[in-house]
Amino acid sequence: MVSNTVALTQTVQKGGCAAKVAASELRKILNQVQFPKAHPELMVDGGLFDDAAIYKVTDEIAMVQTLDFFTPILDTPKLFGAVAAANALSDVYAMGGKPKTAMGILAFPIATMDSSVIVDVMQGASDKVGEAGANFVGGHSIDDDTLKFGLSVTGFVHPQKIWSNAGAKVGDHLILTKPLGTGTMTAALKRRELNEDQIMEAINSMATINNAVDYLTVEHITAIHAATDITGFGLSGHCMQLAKASQVSLSIKAEALPKFNKAFSCLESGFLTKAHKSNADYTLESIDTSKLDKLYNLLIHDPQTSGGLLLCVDAAQSSQIVSALKAKFQSAAIVGEVRPAQQKAVVFE
């Protein structure tokens, strides 16, 4: 039997949100599926690649539903569980909601990996679910060749306070709450060029739940017109999807983007994932990167795991909102603005 001290990243070919099916390929698949006719109460579905589904229950309550799971992105089981949970919970927060229940999704090689590994994975996840004020209520498991873990999460939001990716308004400021670079830094970890202690800035960020709502006033919340979280499709892909859903263009100042201290050195060393290329291909026709140098070009395509929220906020409130968010997200920054729709959905300055 494999020791329970096995480095989890060495048991899989790819990890975290970098293991996502390429966005362009996923769209081709979904376009061939005939989905049931939407109920009148369905407020947000998967049509615009939003972060979660929203189903109206009453005039005061809407249900937020999402799920996310992936292969190990870290070596330590408890840390992997915490990051997997924070990543799944993020989709509810990205819609302006609060998580209430979570169910585990587990694939585990029971014949070759000590069961103490999954105990630690689930404990790390359970601690994060508790931190979010939600309940871990059950789940489903299968015996599989490699470890995979995540959560299905249900939350609630007021139907009139939803943050979808389709509500951005011209003149809004763009706020990014977490630094970029988790993809390249965890790629370095997987290649054994760095260890977890050396990328702890990224681990701590990935394990931070994206609960922005509790740090904002009601006035701030209503000033947020649209949101998304930055995960496997990179800043480029998620910005493109938001711009298209909102029928606007985004202008982003590359030098304003928060990034981890080791992000550029890891990119320069060639610590890349398959998703760096697939994200670049996915956004090629829709974004303008002509003013970016090589490292920034790689950074915007870097696949984030449990990345930050991108918020589109009323310009008159943006500075106050950043100040409020810094109590939880020290790197929160204004990184651009929303402009009328142009030929390119996203322009990097």
Q: For 77-106, write each residue's pLDDT tens digit.
A: 999 999 999 999 999 999 999 999 999 999
| Sheet bearing 42-44, strands edge to edge | 42-44, 53-56, 62-70, 148-157, 98-108, 135-143
Q: What is the distance between the alpha carbons of residues 159 and 97, in angstroms, rounded to a whole number?
A: 10
Structure tokens at 289: 């990167």
Kindly report the backbone phi and psi dihedral angles of residue 233, in degrees, each rounded to the nearest multiple of 5, phi listed first: -85, 5
Q: Domains plus CATH for the chain?
A: 14-157 (3.30.1330.10), 173-348 (3.90.650.10)
Q: What is the distance between the alpha carbons of residues 175 and 177, in angstroms, rounded to a whole number?
A: 6
Dihedral of alpha carbons 86, 88, 89, 91, sign: positive
DSSP 199: G
Angle at 8 between CA 5 and CA 12, to 5 degrees: 145
One-letter amino acid for residue 299 of the chain? L
- In this prediction, residue 30 has a pLDDT band, given cuts at 50, 70 and 90, of confident
How would you class 229 by CB atoms within 10 Å of its CB: exposed for 0-12, middle for 13-18, buried for 19 or more?
buried
Q: What is the distance between the alpha carbons of residues 51 and 90, in angstroms, rounded to a whole number?
A: 9
Strand-pair category, 173-176 with 98-108: unpaired
Structure tokens at 77: 């089981």
pLDDT for 4 beyond 60: no
Annotated active-site residue in 17, 239, 266, 312: 17
Tell me how crowded residue 347 is: count the other CB atoms within 10 A of its CB.
Answer: 19
CA nearest 245: which of 253, 256, 237? Answer: 237
Q: What is the pLDDT of residues 286-328, one digit of tens each?
A: 999 999 999 999 999 999 999 999 999 999 999 999 999 999 9
pTM for the model stands at 0.92
Q: What is the pLDDT of residues 224-274, one digit of tens each?
A: 999 999 999 999 999 999 999 999 999 999 999 999 999 999 999 999 999
Question: Could you give the count of Cα atoms lying within 13 Å of 194 in the half-sphere of its Cβ?
Answer: 22
φ/ψ region of 177 (left if φ > 0, alpha if ψ in -120 to 50, else beta) reads alpha
Q: Is residue 17 among the annotated active site residues? A: yes
Q: What is the distance between the alpha carbons of residues 258 and 181, in angstroms, rounded to a whole number?
A: 9
Q: What is the pLDDT of residues 170-188, one digit of tens each?
A: 999 999 999 999 999 999 9
